[in-house]
Structure formats: structure tokens, C-alpha cells
Amino acid sequence: MQSKQCAGCGKLFHPRPQTPRQSYCASAACQRERRRRWQLARRQSDPEYRENQARAQAAWAAQHPDYWREYRRSHPAYSDRNRRQQQARDARRAARVLAKMNVWTRETPVPSGIYRLSPATRDDLAKMDAWMVRITAVSSPYAPSG
């Protein structure tokens, strides 16, 4: 059987005769990558598998409540990197325009006319009870002649 290129590492390998469609070499890293890709595809295509995985993960987390606290304590570089990334996300979020609950007041009149409401396309943040819309005048207000 001729050599094939591994889908994980890119190196040439000889597939086993029993598995002619073999795409990954036998290295542990490539086999992990093969399983990871299979699981990702399965989670995207099979809702039952996805739900089962979520239940299993929740059960494991319930049995190991201090896992992440201990992990962060024993891996300070991970914690520092995560903290820096969160600060950068917070800074980007703070730079956005926020819609507040008290934006609309009676002192903010809308001229009479016909309006079209459409979803705003920007990634602005908004409160949960606020709607982000763009108002475009479709016609001008009626002005009597004379």
C-alpha cells in the first residue's frame, strides 16, 4: 500500500491494510486530533450526542467543584493570561456605545411621519429590556399648502 499524508501532522505514513481509508498516522498527538475532530463534527450534527456530552460534563463538574480553583492556583501563567485577555475584552466593550434604559424621554420628540424599523447592524451592547433599532424616515411629514 502506498504512503498517505497524515491529516494531523502532515507527515507521510503507511496506512494499515485493514483500514485503507486511514487518514491519520499512529502518533498519539494525531490520534487525539482525530478524536477531537470526530467529536466536534458529531456535536455539530447530532443534538442527542451534544446533550449527552453536556450532561456528562455537568456531572463531572459537580463531582469536582474545586477543579478550576485548584488549576488556577497551580497554573499562575494561565490565570495571568486569562486576566489580561479579560481586561482587553472589557476595554473593547467599554469603547462601544451602550443603549441605556433612560435614553428615551418625553423631551425627545420624534417628528411625525412614517418610519421603518430594522435591526441595527452594529455590535453595540444593549440592556436586556432595550431594543436596538435604526429609524429611517420613509416620508416627510405632511405640510399643508398655503
> Residue 134's pLDDT is what?
64
Instruction: Give the pLDDT of residue 112.
Output: 65
- HEC secondary structure over 125-143: CECCCCCCEEEEECCCCCC
pLDDT in tens, the chain (146 residues): 689 999 999 999 999 999 989 999 999 999 999 999 999 999 999 999 999 999 999 999 999 999 999 999 999 999 999 999 999 999 988 887 665 655 656 566 666 666 666 665 555 555 555 556 666 666 655 666 66
- Residue 127's pLDDT is what? 53
Contacts of 136 (CB under 8 A, 6+ apart): 115, 116, 118
